[in-house]
Amino acid sequence: MFRQLLSGLSAQLPAQCAVCHAWPTRPVCDDCVQRFAQPMPRCQTCALPLPAGMRQCGACISQPPPLDQALAALPYAYPWSGLVTQFKFQEHTGWAHSMALLLRSAPWVEPALDAADWLLPMPLSQQRLRERGFNQTLLLARALEPSKLRAHVLLRVKDTPAQSSLPRAQRQLAVRGAYAVEPAQVAEVEGKRIVLLDDVMTTGASLHEAARVLRRQGAAHITALVFARTE
């Protein structure tokens, strides 16, 4: 409760820009957003950067992922990588609202949210939740689109090593069987248009596995939405 109170207060107080250290401002000031958050062409199904005029990368054309769409607001690079780390691991939870605004400002995000029936945050395992004390993606979802948030439809049923600690080839195997749909919600998934939300997308292994689980239960359309995408 005390942590939640401090988080709420920090969201209302003036802040120093985490990038250029201007004061007072939001966690990232307008000048830094203008400098570091310019949109770029991205593959429509994996969100990797592409040359202008292209819609899909060769890998997605040859081996389509289990996603209808993938959207990323920002590259996982300076300054956004540092902000994500502080948000997740240094309890800067008051930044969720500003991060949600940056997400909404990215191309195609508003239409994806408008068209969605549900917004599903990627869940943490119980072990990881106890260690961290909160699910950063759930906080981001509450700030982004609370009316469509369904926090307990997608479950993390198996703890796995952090994806960042694994070689690329092992990540898909590591998350196999890690997700499930809440049994009481299974029948409701059929026909739903779903936005799967995560803070960072690297290989996409976790998002792909979650999407496969939802597909098996009849989800009609799945968009992966992430704050930052590695490149």
Q: Which domains does the chain have, with CATH numbers?
A: 40-229 (3.40.50)
Joined together, the tokens standing for residue 51 give: 């040359």
Determine the pLDDT at residue 168.
Answer: 65
Q: Which structure tokens are listed for 219? A: 């989800």
Q: Would you tell me the crossing angle of helices 136-144 and 96-105 to the nearest 10 degrees?
A: 60
Distance CA 88, CA 82 (A): 10
Helices (H), the chain: 2-12, 30-36, 58-62, 80-89, 96-105, 109-115, 126-132, 136-144, 168-174, 186-189, 205-216
Q: Using DSSP, state whether 188 is helix, strand or coil.
A: helix
Whether residue 7 contacts residue 94, with contact meaning beta carbons closer than 8 Å, is answered with yes
Q: What is the pLDDT of residue 165?
A: 58
**The pLDDT value given to residue 58:** 96
Point out the residues of the chain with pLDDT beneath 70: 1-15, 24, 161-170
Structure confidence at residue 207 (pLDDT): 97
Confidence (pTM): 0.89
Residue that has been written with the tokens 């198996």 in this structure: 158
**pLDDT at 135 (0 to 100):** 95
For residue range 107-137, list pLDDT tens digits in order.
999 999 999 999 999 999 888 888 888 999 9
Q: Read off the tokens for 50.
A: 């592409």
pLDDT of residue 149: 98
> Is the distance from CB of 33 to CB of 42 less than 8 angstroms?
no
What are 222's strand-pairing partners?
194
